[in-house]
Amino acid sequence: MKTVLVIGGGVTGLKASHELAEMGYNVSLVEKQDYLGGQVAKHKYYKLAPDMRLVSEVLDPVIKNVESNSNIKVHKHSTITALSGNAPEFKVKIKNSKGESEETFGAIVVATGFEHFDPTVKQEYGYSRFKDVVTNAEVEELLNPNGPTKGELKRPSDGKIPKKVAIFQCVGSRDKQVGNPYCCRVGCVVSTKQAIEIKEKYPDTEVYVYYMDMRMFGRGWEELYGKAMEEYEVIFTRGRGAEVTLKNQQLSLRAEETIMDRPIQHSVDMIILAAGQAPGDGTIEAAKILGIKQNEYGYLAPKDDFLSPNESSKAGIFIAGADKGPLDVENCIVEGAAVAAKVASSLK
Amino acid sequence: MAENTDKMVIDGVELVGIWKEFMPSRILYEDVTTEFLDEVKKLPGGSTIAKCYQCGTCTGGCTLPEFVDKFNPRGFINLVRRGHYDILVSDYKDLVWKCVSCNRCTHRCPRGVNTQEVVRAIAKFLEDRKVFGKLTNDEAFDEIFMDEVINDGRIDEVKIVKDFYSKTGRLKDMMSGDQLSLGFKMFTSGRIKLFGGKIKDWKKVSQKLKEELQ
Ligand SMILES: Cc1cc2nc3c(=O)[nH]c(=O)nc-3n(C[C@H](O)[C@H](O)[C@H](O)COP(=O)(O)OP(=O)(O)OC[C@H]3O[C@@H](n4cnc5c(N)ncnc54)[C@H](O)[C@@H]3O)c2cc1C
Ligand code: SF4
Ligand code: SF4
Ligand code: SF4
């Protein structure tokens, strides 16, 4: 069987599809949305950390490689609804607006990615109560010249450019109250990137990041953090945001400045919540249909984290990317290539 | 006086460079230990202290700092954990017990620390070490109130006022004219009774309560 089903058209699924096609496999790529690129495309990310490269420089070639390859059949607006059979002969029902069809595949790759954590449940941050409390994903769209504000950081309440911006780290991550005790792994670098983007565009706007630890383990991340402090005067304050209120029509945040041993009250014009990653509905749905194991948080669980990181609990079904846990774009591309190699060796 | 050396330490006082400036040492020469952490962990309510990752959410949202300078639940936890016992006693012993139990800290703690209980446990830890010495009015009242509830199962207003004044060494004040006339007014209007009634079989309950609180 030289046919492979790839579920999910984010960077991971795109990379896996392209590599498999290059090796001579016939790939069907099933994507729920009517566009490719996953969360990066959905929220119109503009620049990627740590190099501040334009997303288009990275995502466009990855998409082009897929769309121009005759070995890949792209099913947009499609999902899978049922699975029968075993490796290496899976029968999968694929559904789109026109109807349902059954196809046979030698292997399946699940690359269904993540969802942004919805901070509404963190009531003390006032996300749904105060218009100018926004998420980092919303800021990605605001900073994109092709986005709704043509790249201007207009605050939602009155369209003004904020003079003081605070960013809260770890929103919905490292937080047992919401059941996500894990680290979102990209929040720190994304906030640092956004702070720099804001300072570049509006040098007079002050940016304060409230953090517990700045986790800068990726390539070039620590350097970006240094740059934010040295070149852009982004102020990093050690203390987790405690609450947001409205004082005289202005957003006011409370936190402890732990280095000073003192609680502080700080008035700002806009607050960005660095919302973390959570396993998406699409991932949970795919896991149910395919009958593969999830970990305690709902992410897909590898057969063995060290020895077979891209194999699911079921033979012939492979997993890759942010559906296994929070991950950055660079590593998603590595994952996409790795899973393609694993599939190829299993089907030879 | 020191010579023109870069640095010199005399009796813990550092003499710096050409300016010959006197600088008291800022280094804490403390024998830090995890002994106190272990102790607080074992006290009622103290078990979650080790989960704390020092984020400051508790202090950031705490009701008290607006009114009580330097009140800082995260800071208390840090001092216990680091074993900075001397600092805890010298700077904070009069503060820890002021917690009003609003539980904002506990509800928001991202690590599942029961912060309010931990603060209580730290207060108990200090109390057990008899660091408080003379009681403040609030503390004295708290103690009398609790004793009375435990012993009699109810509050006897006259007794509590008498005990309060006697415990704070001010029985004379109680006998002052305006206090007496206030007492008389309250008595005639039925606000206080001279002798509080007894609760049937309270002795047994009281016994049990005392055992539990031990
Ligand atoms: C605000 C924010 C900013 C970020 N910025 C950066 C950055 O600057 N640099 C960086 O390296 N990383 C960044 N990231 C991380 C980046 O978004 C992820 O690494 C990347 O999107 C993960 O790719 P993926 O393909 O694994 O998953 P996704 O991008 O989530 O793609 C999964 C795809 O699968 C589809 N799908 C899901 N379920 C199904 C189903 N059942 N059937 C069919 N299709 C399905 C989805 O529609 C989606 O298109 C950022 C993350 C956040 C939260
Ligand atoms: S990556 Fe940063 S923002 Fe995200 S959970 Fe980890 S420490 Fe918090
Ligand atoms: S909120 Fe919890 S984890 Fe954070 S400092 Fe307070 S007790 Fe520690
Ligand atoms: S319970 Fe005590 S420590 Fe906690 S927020 Fe309220 S006053 Fe502060």
| C-alpha to C-alpha distance for B126 and B129, rounded to whole angstroms | 5
Per-residue pLDDT at A282: 97
Check whether residue B116 and residue B164 sit in a common domain: no
Phi-psi region of A248 (alpha: psi -120 to 50; beta: other; left: phi over 0): left
Check whether residue B166 and residue B190 sit in a common domain: yes
Q: What is the ipTM of this complex?
A: 0.89
Give domain status of residue B181, yes or no: yes
Give domain status of residue B6, yes or no: no
CA–centroid distance, A249 to ligand 3, in Å, is 30
| Domain total in chain B | 2
Q: How far is CA B187 from CA B64, B162, B163, B179, in A?
A: 37, 15, 18, 12
Do the chains contact at B59 and A256, CB–CB below 8 Å?
yes
What number of other Cβ atoms are within 10 A of residue B159's Cβ?
14
Cβ neighbors of A235 (< 8 A, separation 6 or more) are A206, A207, A208, A209
Q: Quick one: which atom of ligand 4 is closest to the CA of B62? A: 5
Do the chains contact at A124 and B108, CB–CB below 8 Å?
yes
Using a 10 angstrom Cβ sphere, with 0-12 exposed, 13-18 middle and 19 or more buried, the burial of residue A185 is: buried
Check whether residue B63 and residue B123 sit in a common domain: yes
Q: Find the ligand nearest to B61 CA.
A: 4
Give domain status of residue B16, yes or no: no
Q: Which two tokens stand for residue A309?
A: 């990181």
- Using CA coordinates, name the residue in chain B closest to A179: B110
Check whether residue B64 and residue B123 sit in a common domain: yes
- pLDDT, mean of residues A322-341: 98
Do the chains contact at B60 and A255, CB–CB below 8 Å?
yes
Can you list the domains of chain A with their CATH numbers?
A: 3-113+280-347 (3.50.50.60), 117-276 (3.50.50.60)
Do the chains contact at A243 and B111, CB–CB below 8 Å?
no
Per the structure, the complete domain to which residue B153 belongs is given by 137-213
Do the chains contact at B74 and A257, CB–CB below 8 Å?
no
Q: How far is CA B204 from CA A73, A189, B213, in A?
A: 81, 63, 14
Give B-chain residues touching A255 at CB under 8 angstroms. Answer: 56-57, 60
Give domain status of residue B17, yes or no: no
Domain boundary (B63, B95, B128) is at B128
What is the distance in angstroms between the Cα of B30 and the nearest Cα belonging to chain A? 20
- Whether residue B115 has its Cβ less than 6 Å from ligand 3: yes
Check whether residue B39 and residue B124 sit in a common domain: yes
User: pLDDT by residue (tens digit) across A200-232?
Assistant: 999 999 999 999 999 999 999 999 999 999 999
Q: How far is CA A102 from CA A84, A99, A205, A287, in A?
A: 10, 10, 56, 19
Q: What is the DSSP code (8-state) at residue A234?
A: P
Per-residue pLDDT at A247: 92
| C-alpha to C-alpha distance for A95 and A86, rounded to whole angstroms | 20
Cβ neighbors of A334 (< 8 A, separation 6 or more) are none
Q: Find the ligand nearest to B51 CA.
A: 3
Give domain status of residue B27, yes or no: no
Domain boundary (B84, B104, B128) is at B128
CA–centroid distance, B103 to ligand 4, in Å, is 5
CA–centroid distance, B62 to ligand 4, in Å, is 5
What is the distance in angstroms between the Cα of A180 and the nearest Cα belonging to chain B? 10
User: pLDDT by residue (tens digit) across B87-109?
Assistant: 999 999 889 989 999 999 999 99
Contact between A288 and A150 (Cβ < 8 Å): no
Check whether residue B112 and residue B159 sit in a common domain: no
Question: Residue A256's closest CA among B45, B48, B78, B46?
Answer: B78
Give B-chain residues touching A242 at CB under 8 angstroms. Answer: 56-61, 108
Check whether residue B116 and residue B168 sit in a common domain: no
Half-sphere exposure of B49 (CA within 13 A, CB side): 30
Check whether residue B50 and residue B69 sit in a common domain: yes
Check whether residue B122 and residue B167 sit in a common domain: no
Check whether residue B162 and residue B186 sit in a common domain: yes
Q: Is the pLDDT of residue A49 over 70?
A: yes
Give domain status of residue B29, yes or no: no
User: pLDDT by residue (tens digit) across A4-42?
Assistant: 999 999 999 999 999 999 999 999 999 999 999 999 999
User: pLDDT by residue (tens digit) across A158-195?
Assistant: 999 999 999 999 999 999 999 999 999 999 999 999 99
Per-residue pLDDT at B1: 42
Cβ neighbors of A22 (< 8 A, separation 6 or more) are A69
Backbone phi, then psi, for B144, in 5-degree steps? -65, -45
Question: Residue B110's closest CA among A221, A220, A239?
Answer: A239
User: pLDDT by residue (tens digit) across A109-168?
Assistant: 999 999 999 999 999 999 999 999 999 999 999 999 999 999 999 999 999 999 999 999
Domain boundary (B78, B103, B128) is at B128
Per-position pLDDT tens, chain B of length 214: 444 456 667 666 666 655 555 666 677 766 778 899 999 999 999 999 999 999 999 999 999 999 999 999 999 999 999 999 989 999 998 899 899 999 999 999 999 999 999 999 999 999 888 887 767 777 788 888 888 888 888 888 888 888 888 887 778 778 888 778 888 888 888 877 777 677 888 888 888 888 887 7
Per-residue pLDDT at B2: 41
Check whether residue B120 and residue B151 sit in a common domain: no
User: pLDDT by residue (tens digit) across A97-111?
Assistant: 899 999 999 999 999
User: pLDDT by residue (tens digit) across B104-142?
Assistant: 999 999 999 999 999 999 999 998 888 877 677 777 888
| C-alpha to C-alpha distance for A137 and A298, rounded to whole angstroms | 21
Contact between B71 and B62 (Cβ < 8 Å): yes
Using a 10 angstrom Cβ sphere, with 0-12 exposed, 13-18 middle and 19 or more buried, the burial of residue A70 is: exposed
Give domain status of residue B14, yes or no: no
Q: Find the ligand nearest to A7 CA.
A: 1
| Helices (H), ranges, A247-328 | 281-290
Q: What is the DSSP code (8-state) at residue A231?
A: T
Give domain status of residue B25, yes or no: no
Interchain CB contacts (distance < 8 Å): A and B? 68
Using a 10 angstrom Cβ sphere, with 0-12 exposed, 13-18 middle and 19 or more buried, the burial of residue A171 is: buried
Per-residue pLDDT at B199: 82
Check whether residue B122 and residue B177 sit in a common domain: no
Per-residue pLDDT at B10: 67
Q: How far is CA B173 from CA B140, B145, B161, B177, B193, in A?
A: 16, 20, 11, 9, 21
